[in-house]
């Protein structure tokens, strides 16, 4: 085993040990609880656009995108555009013709204008409409036709029903050894008294419950627990789904 292999082996062992380190797990959960209360995820931006995300998940996505090197990333949920610009910038560094498709039921004009003016817009295609409507799904499938490596990110409406419908629409497009990443699965793990700003989702009705339901029906995916153990701090525990076959 050479030095590079030794380093990677030690890292894998260290990450795996995090999964059984109960004090570390509890500390991470406490951090997540308090930072969700304080809207920590709203504090960051990427190349000038707000990205409503935890830096840890951003790093995880960078690692996965570099590993997979997708020619298409499909994201449901655009908001201010920070994440589609982030993914587009990574594809720009990789080179080739990689494209990010951003879907949102309501792309507000001020956000659309700033996204379209951004240098990374050359790698972005915006689609306005419900991510689970036949019209939008068919449009995305047409874009995906002929693409070899596809990654999917689901970060729009976080109810069980909607996320499960998105999984059924888009997870089958994911290429083998790539990922469907379902964000905000953390809702299921938070205290019952945590306020969700009157959102229609909560414990028992959220992206994680949708993931578990979907995995009962589709054996092509598995939860990549190594990502969870590596990050510890994440809005997507059990949400990094790797396609295995």
pLDDT tens-digit map of 8-33: 999 999 999 999 999 999 999 999 99
Domain span holding position 224: 3-243
**pLDDT band with cut points at 50, 70 and 90 for residue 192:** confident
Question: Taking the alpha carbons of 141, 143, 145, 149 in that order, is the dihedral positive or negative?
Answer: negative
pLDDT at 58 over 70: yes
**pLDDT band with cut points at 50, 70 and 90 for residue 200:** confident
Q: What percent of the chain has pLDDT over 70?
A: 99
Domain tally for the chain?
1
* 132 close to 162: Cβ distance less than 8 angstroms: yes
Predicted pLDDT at 199: 83
Question: Between residues 197 and 210, which one has the greater pLDDT?
Answer: 210
In terms of pTM, does the model score above 0.75? yes
Q: Which DSSP category does 178 fall into?
A: -
Beta bridge partners of 126: 102
pLDDT tens-digit map of 31-45: 999 999 999 999 999
- For the chain, the average pLDDT equals 96
Residue 49 sits in a domain whose CATH number is: 3.40.50.150
pLDDT tens-digit map of 134-170: 999 999 999 999 999 999 999 999 999 999 999 999 9
pLDDT at 227 over 70: yes
Predicted pLDDT at 186: 96
Per-position DSSP letters for 22-83, written without gaps between them = HHHHHHHHHHHHHHHHTTGGGG-EETTEE--S-HHHHHHHHHHHHHH--SEEEEE--TTSHH
Predicted pLDDT at 1: 81
Predicted pLDDT at 57: 98
């Amino acid at each position: 085993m050479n030095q590079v292999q030794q380093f990677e082996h030690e890292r894998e062992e260290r990450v795996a040990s995090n999964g059984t380190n109960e004090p570390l797990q509890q500390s991470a959960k406490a951090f997540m609880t308090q930072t969700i209360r304080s809207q920590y995820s709203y504090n960051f931006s990427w190349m000038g656009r707000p990205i409503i995300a935890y830096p840890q998940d951003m790093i995880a996505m960078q690692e996965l995108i570099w590993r997979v090197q997708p020619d298409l990333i499909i994201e449901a949920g655009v908001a201010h555009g920070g994440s589609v610009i982030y993914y587009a910038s990574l594809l720009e560094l990789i080179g080739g013709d990689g494209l990010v498709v951003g879907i949102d039921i309501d792309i507000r004009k001020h956000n659309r204008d700033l996204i379209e003016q951004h240098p990374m817009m050359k790698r972005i295609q915006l689609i306005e409409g419900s991510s689970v409507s036949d019209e939008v799904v068919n449009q995305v499938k047409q874009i995906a036709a002929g693409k070899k490596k596809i990654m999917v990110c689901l970060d729009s409406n976080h109810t069980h029903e909607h996320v499960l419908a998105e999984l059924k629409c888009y997870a089958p497009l994911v290429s083998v050894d790539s990922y469907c990443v379902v964000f905000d699965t953390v809702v299921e793990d938070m205290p019952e008294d945590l306020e969700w700003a009157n959102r229609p989702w909560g414990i028992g009705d959220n992206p994680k419950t949708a993931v578990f339901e979907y995995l009962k029906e589709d054996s092509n995916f598995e939860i990549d627990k190594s990502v969870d153990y590596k990050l510890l701090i994440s809005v997507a525990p059990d949400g990094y789904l790797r396609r295995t076959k």
